[in-house]
Homo-oligomer: A and B are copies of this chain.
Amino acid sequence: MEHFSLPALSRVVISGGTHGNEMTGVYVVREMAKNKVDKIGSASRTTVLSNPEAVKVCRRYIDKDLNRCFTDALLSATLTPSSPYEIKRAHELNALFGPKGSPQAVDILCDIHNTTANMGMCFIFYRFDWITLHIFKYIQSKASFGPVRAIQFDTPLPEAYSLEAVAKHGFTLEVGPQPTGVIRADIYNMVMEALDLIMDWLEKFNSGRTFEGGEVEAFCKTNALDYPRDPTTDDITAAVHPQLQDNDFKLLRPGDPIFQSFNGETVKYEGEEAYPFFVNECAYYEKKIAFQLARKISISLPSISVTKD
């Protein structure tokens, strides 16, 4: 089996409130900032409230979804006084924790999100990044709660649009179900435990521990389905079917019910076998996504350890 020696990881950022109405990250970041523990073992940990203006009004965003603003194109655009608030904020965050793709970028950025979908805890990442995947494997094996899953969005880094793309090893911690604007203690506790486990892992890695390789399972996003809509008004004409609702990551087969129209008719799935996720996520109505689909993949992790001086 392959082995990689990788540089020590010294700068960690925990971010919340990238979407101002996803409350777990907001309260986790506020609590951590209160304690002012900046140095944990060999790593420094910084917290940031990514979209403070949206948090103030408890909305996803002010002008534009911040978590779609970190493409190379948007980060290199010239700012003007009339640029959307979130574009300006993305430039600030990129200057603080990036620049994206540069040697100056922070080592780890963990961005905390909530979903109204029944997804449990998910690691979402763009690339087959060995550090992210080893952290995921560690949390999956140690967490007192379950399930913990990995989701890969197969997007090239220049087009990667979310905050974590600015870090060398960035990932989203997506946890649900939790309504927007609501904080649930059970989900807060899960995230706090995961963040402790991340710092544990980092300390062990930086101290020279070898992490053995192995197979991990991940869900690789393939496509997304919109709700049936009225061609004139664009209003949705159906809800997610009760048999699909809350059944994220359960295999969907051709012929399975996926929507129930408001007049009572059932719409059946016509695609290939796939795993649905983000089923009935609140914020995706405007993005025209009823749920996303993935295929299951197996990833062979190499063993890793820190580069000796």
Contact = CB atoms under 8 A, between A and B. Distances in A.
A283 B27 CA distance: 17
Interface string A155-185: 0000000000000000000000101111111
Q: Determine chain A's interface SS by DSSP, over half rule.
A: loop
Contacts of A30: 235, 262
Interface string A92-122: 0000000000000000000000001000000
Interface in A248-287: 260, 262-263, 280, 282-283, 285
A262 B31 contact: yes
Contact of A181 (B180, B239, B263): B180
A245 B187 CA distance: 11
Contacts of A179: 116, 177, 179-180, 182, 282
A240 B188 CA distance: 11
Work out how many copies of this chain go into the complex: 2
Nearest to A27: B262
B27 A182 contact: no
A283 B58 CA distance: 11
Contacts of A263: 31
Contact of A239 (B184, B240, B262, B282): B184
Interface residues of A, number: 29
A208 interface: no
Contacts of A27: 239, 262
A30 B235 CA distance: 10
A116 B182 contact: yes
Contacts of A282: 179-182
A239 B180 contact: no
A186 B116 contact: no
Nearest to A60: B181
Interface in A179-231: 179-186, 188-189
A235 to B, nearest CB: 7
A242 interface: yes
A241 interface: yes
A188 B245 CA distance: 13
7 contacts: A31-B262, A177-B179, A179-B179, A181-B285, A183-B239, A184-B245, A189-B260
Interface of A: 27, 30-31, 116, 177, 179-186, 188-189, 235-236, 239-242, 245, 260, 262-263, 280, 282-283, 285
